[in-house]
Amino acid sequence: MPEMTFTVLWPNGLRQQCYSPSLVVRDHLTVGDRYEIVDFVQRSRTALTEASDRVMAKFGFACTSAAATLREIETTAAAFDSGTVRVLDLGGRR
């Protein structure tokens, strides 16, 4: 199962590199696009849940790294009242 990293830019200039155990993130985010924070978190939640479900189907257990990435995204998002997140990269494979 191909893994990937994706990089985003938060409203305060923080670059965050995120991990996904599947390329499914590419179905939910587009390089260069900006997403309102709430939308970005929801898209990330959907993508990382799908990725973890794929791990479950293949190996019989959920991906704890996908869950950790989602927690990091949610924690970072909680620091902002509003703003957009820009997707910088969806191509990094691990």
pLDDT for 67 beyond 70: yes
User: Which pair of structure tokens corresponds to residue 78?
Assistant: 């909680």
**Do residues 73 and 53 make contact, with C-beta atoms less than 8 angstroms apart?**
no
CA 14 – CA 45 distance, rounded (Å)? 20
CA 30 – CA 39 distance, rounded (Å)? 13
Q: To which residue do tokens 């970072």 refer?
A: 76
* Eight-class DSSP state of 13: S
User: Which pair of structure tokens corresponds to residue 11?
Assistant: 């409203």
pTM given for the model = 0.92
pLDDT digits (tens, 9 = 90+) for 14-46: 999 999 999 999 999 999 999 999 999 999 999
Average pLDDT, the chain: 94
The kind and range of the H/E element at 22 are: none
**Which pLDDT score is estimated for 84?**
98
